[in-house]
Amino acid sequence: MNEFLDSIFFDNTVRQYLIVAAIIIVVLLAKRFIAHHVAGFIFSIIKLRWKSINKATFKTLVAKPLALFLAVFITIVALDKLTFPSQLNFSIYHISLKELISIIGTASIIITFFLFLIKCVDFIGLMIIERYAADDERSKSQVIIFFKDFIKTLLGILAILLILKYCFNYDVKGLLTGLSIVGAAVALALKENLENFIASIVIFFDKPFVIGDYVKVNNVSGVIEKIGFRSTRIRSDDKTFITVPNKQMSDSILDNISNRLQRRYVLKLEIAPSTPYQKVQALVKGLNAIIQKDEIESASVFVTDITSSAIIITTEIYTAPVAIPVFNNTKQTVVMQALELMEQAGIEIAGKSTDVNITTQGPDKPPPTKIL
């Protein structure tokens, strides 16, 4: 038995193959168990600081990428203990198979490790966002989302640099130096994107709006759904998805309708100028009675102007910042009761005419003739 285990195939003994295979099989079968126990240990430490942390969410975001990283790392370390067979050491496009496998293994470790880090950033961001989920702290949540995406982008760039360094032996310092030289040219070429990025930073710190606000900018109105590095996404009133560059969002006149303190509605009634004073006074008194409603916080009725064509009576009402359907229902109630009041008082709208005048004109007389 020992002779068989010590027999050599492809520059390695059977014993070495069996040990490596056993390690890989155990890792693949137990990776989830190991990852959950490691994640549980990390969770118990984090739980000491954040009491409201969700264990299921933590294991979903952290345990799975951790299990993948551990499986890849241990598998590659185990395979590294084997001697690469000289029979398989041939070249592919000037790269030996041994070098190619080494590149793939190193890249796999780096990629899975940074995927694990990115998922950790997602979990930390989610945990902090839930902490500031209240309406009065949505701006803090918005900043956290921005920096979470920014950190994930930096981790992605760092992973690429490490792959270039340790997989392809690329001079990263020379690359960074070259990037600094061409940085000015890239900045000029990406001038608009750079302006949008700077505008996004201004938006996050100035906070003219946050995710969930209803805004109107450049004839576009809708709800803010996402604020990115370059643009802001708005769900319009027509339920379309509109992308607006952040530079326009910061430079344009923006109306944040969600921050309004009240909703305002103005009803202008133009009645016939021949309406008697008593009826005008009764109409004003009746309108004052109409606007005495619980949903109306403040209101006023006054005669705005008297012209040759109309007497103008203005009714101005203010409600709380209620939903649009509720506000529209209040407006409709006021308008319908005003029409009923005018009908009962016999008051006509200015410009209304019931007289029909028919004018007839006879044929023109022929011009007189002269007799010479």
Helix, strand or coil for residue 4?
Answer: helix
Beta bridge partners, 302, equal: 314
Q: Is pLDDT above 50 for 372? A: no
Residue range 55-82, pLDDT digits in tens: 666 666 777 788 888 888 888 888 888 7
Do residues 230 and 197 lie in contact, with contact meaning Cβ atoms separated by under 8 Å?
Answer: yes
* Structure tokens that stand for 259 in this block: 């921050």
Q: How far apart are CA 39 and CA 42, in angstroms?
A: 5
- Dihedral (Cα; 210, 216, 219, 222), 10-degree rounding: 70
What is the average pLDDT value for the chain, to the nearest integer? 79
Report CA torsion sign: 28, 30, 33, 34. Answer: negative
Q: Which residue has the higher pLDDT, 343 or 365?
A: 343
Dump strand ranges (E) for the chain.
Answer: 8-9, 12-13, 91-92, 95-96, 214-217, 220-227, 231-236, 241-245, 254-256, 263-271, 296-306, 311-319
Answer for the pair 248, 196: CB distance below 8 angstroms, yes or no.
no
Lowest mean pLDDT among 113-122, 126-135, 317-326, 345-354: 126-135
Q: Would you place residue 234 in the very low, low, confident or very high pLDDT band (cuts 50, 70, 90)?
A: very high
Sorting pLDDT into bands at 50, 70 and 90, what band is 334? Answer: very high
Please list the helix, strand and coil fractions of the chain in percent, rounded to the nearest 5, in that order.
60, 15, 25
5-9, 130-134, 323-327 — which is least confidently predicted?
Answer: 130-134
Residue-level pLDDT at 323 = 80
Q: Which of 19-33, 140-154, 334-348 has the highest mean pLDDT?
A: 334-348
d(CA 345, CA 286): 10
CA distance 173 to 156: 18
Judging by DSSP bridges, how do beta strands 91-92 and 12-13 pair with one another? unpaired
Q: What is the pLDDT of residue 335?
A: 92
Select from 129, 134, 136 the least CA-distant residue to 259.
Answer: 136
Cβ density class 249-282: b for 16+ within 10 Å, e for less: bbeeebebbeeeeebebebebbbbeebeeebbee
What pLDDT is attached to residue 267?
Answer: 92
Please tell me the distance from the alpha carbon of residue 177 to that of residue 85, in angstroms, as a whole number. Answer: 40
Rounded Cα gap, residues 319 and 265, in angstroms: 9
Mean pLDDT of 344-355: 75
Instruction: Give me 204's structure tokens.
Output: 């996050």
